[in-house]
Structure 1
Amino acid sequence: MEMYGRILTGGGRFYTFLGPLFQAVGQRQKQYNWLVTDFEGGFSLEEHVRLNRRNLRERYAWIDGGTLTGLAGQVDAQWSWGVFSGFDRSVTLEEALEYDLPWADGNPGFWENPVSIQHPLAQMEIVAWDNACTILISRDQEAVRGFAAAFPDSMDLERYNEAEAAPDQSAAYEAWLRRNGER
């Protein structure tokens, strides 16, 4: 199945606020259960996510879309890092955990074409990447079109990857940050 992606970056702004993102995708997040991994930020929502772990060793949280929507609407908190993977409600947590957990920090997969969701069972992925950008990848083309309409300065992720010599943790990454006003 084809996947579609957008990236919102540049301009020295902070990006990953869930409320506006959920509006942009037409509130589709409500139809999913969410695996939240590799996260930092979000303040009171992050605290809720942390409390929904079964024990302190877990590096993930599982939360239904309605609860996530309600919590995102209560606070305008930005996420610094995180991967929000949306699953059809028929997928159980146990099935989701049969695969590696999605991750953001240092993951080169975002900068490779064709774009793809990290978790093979997920339908949508929202990534907060180092306060510098938000990435949306979805199997639902309409969700991505809504994101593009709501954030007209976002770019098609595949075109971005082709044009940007993909940021990494090297000198090329530093040059990318300077070009985009981040340092």
Structure 2
Amino acid sequence: MYADPTNAVQLVACIYEAIDRIDVSRDFRTIPLVAASFCDAIHDSFCDSHKNALAAAHRYLSSGEITEADQWIHVLAGRVGSSYPSGTDASFIARERLVWGELNRNTVPTVEAIEFLLRSGKIAGVPFERMLEAVKRSMGGFFPDPLHAEGDSPEPTCPSKGKTSMNIAIQSDPLPDICQLVRAMGSSLEDFDWHVGNMEAVPWPVDNREGWLSGRELSERLLVEPVQIFWGVLDAFPVGMRTDVEILPWADGNLSVWEPGAKPQIDGARFEIVFWDSGEVLLIGLSEAERVRVKDAFPEARFVGHSTG
């Protein structure tokens, strides 16, 4: 492991190893404490409403005063859990997500949750040195001192022996498109019916952000001109196996897609593709053979979500 991580990737690798050794199933304070430290570092950049929400979160963390914190959770839930209006400043969204993180009382410290805070912190302007300090302080009980033992191996690029990889994330610029991803799995768009959800993309019909498309319809839409997807969820179903969707799948702010063992959000989906904030794409529910093919096609792909065997 690293004596002094110099970037978020190295820090996440440290956290991955630390969390894997301990039980965090009842630890609901670490995420808000990490977020609070990030927010303190850039406090002056928050708008007045965010500062009021942070004050309520501080009161809850310090004295257990819950009423005002709950009111702010109610106010922000509709925004953080939904798509932001087109053109909303990315740093504003990142700061609001940090506020939400400090108010959050229902998330245990997973690698994915910490990585989400680190991404938001970077966009919001929190210096990495401050993020490292905050993580060390808030998660001090997780790590030996120092964070590494001399002679440890460098940053892992795949899960260690004994773990079964569940899902795959690809971070690149530009991201691979849907056709490239499905071809890498060994299939084609026409092999499936597709449910589209929470689609924020250009060009993309405004009246078709949620709903069903045949593989041919999706293929023809993508062939007209290149589509840039900012957020979006595509669930693949065997042809002719469409189902009633009562709860629409979503991506923007949905941390559950990063959790270990995450599954497609629609029951019966063969697999799910989640486009995340323009910079990453998640492939959820692939078979082992499909994961191997995707990793071969995209060497930069990484495994996320695992179960210990």
Q: Same-fold call, TM > 0.5?
A: yes
Structure 2 partner of 1:7: 169
State how far apart, in whole Å, the 2-side matches of 1:16 and 1:41 are.
14
Segments ≥4 residues shifted beyond 3 Å? none
Q: 1:18 touches 1:78 (CA, 8 Å); kept in 2?
A: no
For structure 2, list consecutive stretches of 5 or more residues without a partner in the other structure: 1-163
Task: Classify 1:28/1:157 alpha carbon distance in 2 versus 1 (closer, same or farther; 3 Å).
Answer: farther
Identity of aligned residues (%): 25
TM-score by length of 2: 0.42
Aligned length: 145
Structure-to-structure mapping, 1:1-183, within 5 angstroms: 4-9=166-171, 13-15=173-175, 17-43=177-203, 46-47=204-205, 50=206, 53=208, 60-92=210-242, 95-97=243-245, 99-158=246-305
Q: Which amino acid aligns with 1:142?
A: A
- Normalized against structure 1, the TM-score is what? 0.68
Relative contact order, higher structure (CA 8 A, sep 6+):
1
Measured at CA, do residues 90 and 139 of structure 1 come closer, stay the same or move farther in structure 2, by a change above 3 Å?
Answer: farther
For residue 126 of structure 1, give the secondary structure of its aligned residue in structure 2: strand
Shift of 1:14: 3.4
Return closer, same or farther for 1:3/1:71 CA change in 2, 3 Å cut-off.
farther
Is the strand fraction higher in 1 or 2? 1
Alpha-carbon shift at residue 122 of structure 1 (Å): 0.7
CA RMSD of aligned residues (A): 2.6
Q: Structure 1: give runs of 5+ residues left out of the alignment.
A: 54-58, 163-183
- Structure 1 or 2: more helix by fraction: 2
| Aligned counterpart, 2:84 | none
- C-alpha distance in structure 2 between counterparts of 1:29 and 1:122, whole Å: 14
User: What is the deviation of 1:121?
Assistant: 1.5
> CA contact under 8 A between 1:7 and 1:157: conserved in structure 2?
yes
In structure 2, the residue corresponding to 1:157 is in which secondary structure?
A: strand
Write the distance in 2 (CA, Å) between the matches of 1:96 and 1:149: 35
